[in-house]
Structure 1
Amino acid sequence: MIEATTIVLYPAPGIGHIVSMVELAKHLLLLKNQQHFSITILLTTGLLDHPSIESYIHRISTSHPSISFLRFPAVAVAAGGGITQSYAATAFQFIKSNAVNVESALRQISTVKALIIDLFCTSAIDAAAALRIPVYYFFTSGAGMLSLYSYFPELHRKTTASFKDMKGVEIVAPGNAALSAPLMPEPILDRDDPAYREMLYFCENLPKAKGILVNTFRELEPVAVKAVEEGACFPGTQRPPPVYYIGPYIAEPQQSDEATRDSKECLSWLDKQPSRSVVYLCFGSRGTFSVTQLKEIAKGLEKSGHRFLWVVKRPMEEHQEMKQVRDPAKWEFELDSVLPRGFMERTKERGLVVRSWAPQVEVLSHESVGGFVTHCGWNSVLEGVVAGVPMIAWPLYAEQHVNRNVMVEEMRVAVAVEQREGDGFVSGEEVEQRVKELMEESERGRERRKRSLKLKNMAQAALGESGSSTKELANLVQTWNGTESITD
């Protein structure tokens, strides 16, 4: 038995979700005057596993002894029983298969104050209910996505067709800009996909939680925050759960002695570049493109004339719909084989191309970086905001089109690339123009740079000792301790 008052965290598989949960754990432990407790983080085995996760866990366990990890036994990833289903459906089925492991883990841990789960881990609520453990959601996306997903059951009732088939139809959810129906988050695009029913189940359970923690801060998304607080996204719910805006939580920089040769090369190269002169391109831990698209990006970068640091992942097959690399064994490839002939030689004085990975937090905070081309994953968005770097929004999958709208229209820290309808292709000319717009003295570029620096300061203030996010997290902990909440 683990003898301690414990907060249990249960992230979805994948390094992005795990990092967000770990950052939550660290902030909980740093709160002043909090009742002493330890934190246990539950981890699945069998989906999106990668050696980088193990090294990350080791680093956190060493530096934060009050955070422990409980790794579940391996569970096979189901193939779908002979039917074709989306990757999301397979992932949700995998997580659901771990419900028995969740119950077993909770029974091992003495005096659990709360179970905090990722939205995709909703299958854990039955085990928690049986043990009378209060359940909270940690929403690792922003308030805009929380509002959309909370409203999704209502959209389900109002529509009969799949969003993917609703060409020319715009979906409007409280706190969000209108979004073309086929650009809705992938797990809810197709009513015939088992993932759709799972997402409906997840979202129907959101208002039943004891509370919802969101990795954003009030000042970053005021429109969505207002929609959530007014209950507009919870139609038919008499008492929506309390929502705590506690971010922005981003990954901590790696220690210099742990940095890989490639990461040291990136930072060393940046050290030699002028202030705010480099545009950094990275599309998340799994985002990828076809060779044709990679060559268009290269053409646009070369013609733009600007310095660049570009992270390139193994390309997908031509006309392949999935814009993600999932199998780590397939990450290796030769850069020369996927880029235009002579490109790296022609641009070697002002550009650096690296395979697969760069130390993003350190890169974005570097003095020489002046712009960020991103896939709009929420972790990357927050990292850009915290660093005060203006962005070019290029969404690929999941909820990234929703995030793009928030970045461009509400945060006003990004310009968006024009993507071809259907496959999202972006021309080299478009890449060239957006890079120039952001990096040169255009009116929109100046506005984005000014706004980015303002939000950087607001993010720092939110996490300060008397900041809005710190107060909201303290209020949550005080509800666990049965004391009064902090007020302004």
Structure 2
Amino acid sequence: MGSTSRQLHVFFLPFMAPGHMIPMLDIAKLFTTRGVKATIITTPLNVPIVAKTIERTKTCGNSVVKIDIQTIEFPAVEACLPEGCETTDSKTTHDEKMATFASSHKMLRQPLEQLLQNHDHPHCIVADMVFPWTIDAAAKFGIPVLVFNVTSVFSASAVVSIGQYKPQMEVSSDSEPFVIPNFPGEIMLTRMKLPNFTGNKYVKAFFSDLMKEVVESEVRSYGVILNSFYELEPAYANHYTRVCARKAWYIGPVSLCNKDAKDKGQRGKESSIDKHECMNWLNTKHINSVVYICFGSLSNFRDSQLMEIAMGLEASGQQFIWVVRKDKNEKEDEDWLPMGFEKRMEGKGLIIRGWAPQALILDHEAVGGFVTHCGWNSRLEGVSAGLPMVTWPLFAEQFFNEKLVIEVLKIGVPVGAQQCVEFSGNDNPIKKEAIEKAVRHIMEGEEAKEMRSRAKELGEMARRAIEEGGSSYSQLNALIEELKALHS
């Protein structure tokens, strides 16, 4: 009887930002390794990125892996955005424009419903957390929805507790600390470190509403998928399921589904540097001698901050790979670099302007530390690589992730960021002295060795979690069997 049943088919609907699309594509790959048919739903201009990323999934082991792509139109102009603005890379770094782009996702609902109307219905939809409307759209066709929460279990749980108890309303100033109530550990935050902290009322209202909608959608959905693994944050995983009452599956680190160098190098956009050139450069360095600095795809530091980073790196005496946004290109007058910086750093430092093959770099034995904005994908990739970190949170849930790294896992040091900043940058840069001190802290001395040892242990746990019999491997199997049972 089972042989005549239709193959389990799942739609995957990622938000159009690299930090959301890349892990969603990895999750789709993982589903296909369990015999599930996967279809990625995206907009036309994102198809090349998706197609390139899944190209090598056509064969996996002895079985043929099939990932389809279906497109739905994104009405950018109707949403008061530039024509062709279909990703967060499309010059959306201004806060209001970013909020407009993110809020306009609701305009995808009608095209998605039309797609569902005209095609065989999938058995399930895995929808990004910023698409809470997917639940009602899918309900019209009797399709269950799994929410993909793109952050840590720690952060997801913290958002629930703060939303429920509102401790930020009990303090008298933005800088006065409060304890997150009914939450494992005595975790202290300030209003300045919350995702919706901004002086822009429109942006503040957008993020406040979005956080509320995300929490509500998690409750109304069939369940939540998280890119984490139980052993990394067990107290918070237990809290999320028992206290927050979420039905959840921890199936990460999903980036580890990419086994070889070509798989790792093909994640996301085309690298701005030849991968072989980058690897050859690292091959000339000693083990744990290079620090990698990258702040994700959305950060946009002003020239004054980039200058401080450059001076701090030079003063630290460490070898480095530093990734900066592509609009900081070599043809401009590079006022953001000290005079003669690149000449002095020749052979010691490598600047990548644009997109870097991050997973490849982090996994290289020469890399011994990671300066990160605490975006969850990067942070989890750093854990998987067994690296101590300098934490430099900027916005969204990144200050929550910093708390996990520093206070719970104890594998990093803070650079000293005190408040969420705008996507367009901050007028009060972190100074070179703080950057130098933090970089030295994770690269030199006994404490650095201890942090690296703890990070290596977590990296080994991460790899065991996704192997056959591991916690994430088993949870994904259990989820797929449950979905099959719904339709048997």
TM-score, normalization: structure 2?
Answer: 0.83
CA drift of 1:10 comes to 1.0
Query: Alpha carbons of 1:59 and 1:193: their partners in 2 closer, same or farther (altered >3 Å)?
Result: closer
What is the correspondence of 1:57-96 to structure 2 with a 5 Å cutoff?
57-61=51-55, 63-64=57-58, 65-76=65-76, 78-79=79-80, 86-87=96-97, 89-96=99-106
SS in 2 for 1:457: helix
What is the correspondence of 1:303-382 to structure 2 with a 5 Å cutoff?
303-313=315-325, 330=327, 332=329, 334=331, 336-382=334-380
2:295 — aligned with what?
283
1:38 — aligned with what?
37
2:462 — aligned with what?
459
1:326 — aligned with what?
none
2:247 — aligned with what?
242
SS in 1 for 2:355: coil
CA drift of 1:288 comes to 2.6
Query: Alpha carbons of 1:56 and 1:127: their partners in 2 closer, same or farther (altered >3 Å)?
Result: closer
CA contact (8 A) 1:40 1:67 kept: yes
Structure 2 CA distance, aligned partners of 1:305 and 1:110? 59
Query: Alpha carbons of 1:368 and 1:145: their partners in 2 closer, same or farther (altered >3 Å)?
Result: same
1:8 aligned to 2:20?
Answer: no
1:437 aligned to 2:441?
Answer: yes
Structure 2 CA distance, aligned partners of 1:254 and 1:121? 31
Structure 2 CA distance, aligned partners of 1:76 and 1:420? 35
CA contact (8 A) 1:25 1:39 kept: yes
CA drift of 1:179 comes to 1.3
1:151 — aligned with what?
161
What is the correspondence of 1:58-457 to structure 2 with a 5 Å cutoff?
58-61=52-55, 63-64=57-58, 65-76=65-76, 78-79=79-80, 86-87=96-97, 89-155=99-165, 166-170=174-178, 172-173=180-181, 174-175=183-184, 177-186=187-196, 193-231=205-243, 234=244, 240-250=245-255, 252=258, 253-254=261-262, 261-313=273-325, 330=327, 332=329, 334=331, 336-419=334-417, 423=426, 425-441=429-445, 443-457=446-460
Paired residues, number? 444
Query: Alpha carbons of 1:85 and 1:337: their partners in 2 closer, same or farther (altered >3 Å)?
Result: closer
Structure 1 CA distance, aligned partners of 2:147 and 2:26? 15
What are structure 1's unaligned runs of at least 5 residues?
A: 235-239, 315-329, 484-488
Structure 1 CA distance, aligned partners of 2:392 and 2:118? 44
SS in 2 for 1:120: coil
Letter in 2 for 1:98: L
Letter in 2 for 1:72: I
Cα RMSD (Å): 2.9
Query: Alpha carbons of 1:67 and 1:279: their partners in 2 closer, same or farther (altered >3 Å)?
Result: same
Query: Alpha carbons of 1:402 and 1:264: their partners in 2 closer, same or farther (altered >3 Å)?
Result: same
CA contact (8 A) 1:175 1:226 kept: no
Deviations 1:74-123 (A, max 9, x none): 3116249xxx9834531332110110011112223324211111110111
Structure 2 CA distance, aligned partners of 1:112 and 1:457? 36
Structure 1 CA distance, aligned partners of 2:33 and 2:36? 11
CA contact (8 A) 1:262 1:358 kept: no
CA drift of 1:458 comes to 0.2
Letter in 1 for 2:342: M
CA contact (8 A) 1:278 1:309 kept: yes
Structure 2 CA distance, aligned partners of 1:11 and 1:167? 35
Query: Alpha carbons of 1:254 and 1:167: their partners in 2 closer, same or farther (altered >3 Å)?
Result: same
Structure 2 CA distance, aligned partners of 1:164 and 1:70? 50
CA contact (8 A) 1:4 1:111 kept: no
Determine what percentage of the aligned residue pairs are the same residue: 31
1:18 — aligned with what?
21
Letter in 2 for 1:44: T
